[in-house]
Amino acid sequence: MIKTLSKEIPDSTIALKFSNPLELLIATILSAQCTDVKVNQVTEKLFKKYRTAKDYAEANLAELEEEIRPTGFYRNKAKSIQKCSQELVKRFGGEVPKALEDLVTLPGVGRKTANVILGNVFGIPGITVDTHVHRVSRRIGLTKNDDPAKIEFDLMEIVPKEEWTHFSNLLIWHGRKTCVARRPLCEICRIRKECDYGSKVIPSGLRSKA
């Protein structure tokens, strides 16, 4: 599946735009229940104004809320960003830590966000279980669990460690392009034969014209 999807999606890098660990951290917090396209639109201006963790930590909260309003749930996100940044300044000298154990202690940062940062900035392999990986991995039949942490550990057991980040990004893009939520495009899916759902929906040798 990794080989097939890599050919199908040669540019499977993360869609969020960033130039340093802090920017990806902020962008990932903003991406909760929001599209990457919208987040990128917001962060284009945001990153020019706030360049360090100290900037966010000392920001006017009301102003920060307005600046990230388009991403939704802006009040909670603004609080998380500011508290997270305050902890970065207080405990890590304003730098984003490179250990999952440290990252998950930050406000607004769970295993998903931590693995996004580790894999896409620091080159430390991690399985990112976002809404797409959650849906696709269950639909394919790679896990029967529903809890993101359990899904992460299930995938860690069957995916080579060096492929964890790449595999996560592949499933995310596959979930956006083909294995969509409401009606997966099984008729054009390149990994249908390996998929529990697709192989049942469209028997081998038959293709839908829909």
Provide the 10 A C-beta neighbour count for residue 60: 10
Indicate the SS3 state at residue 132.
helix
CA angle 33, 35, 39 (to 5 degrees): 100
CB proximity list for 107: less than 8 A, separation 6 or greater: 79, 80, 83, 84, 87
- In the residue annotation, 112 being an active-site residue is answered as yes
User: In terms of Cα–Cα distance, which of 28, 37, 10, 45 is closest to 120?
Assistant: 28
Torsion of CA 191, 192, 198, 202, to 10 degrees: 170
- Among 48, 49, 54, 130, the one annotated catalytic: 130
- Among 112, 154, 161, 209, the one annotated catalytic: 112
CA angle 120, 172, 98 (to 5 degrees): 20
Quote the CA–CA distance of 13 and 24 in Å, as a whole number.
Answer: 13
Sequence letter at residue 26: I
- In the residue annotation, 130 being an active-site residue is answered as yes
Catalytic machinery residues:
112, 130
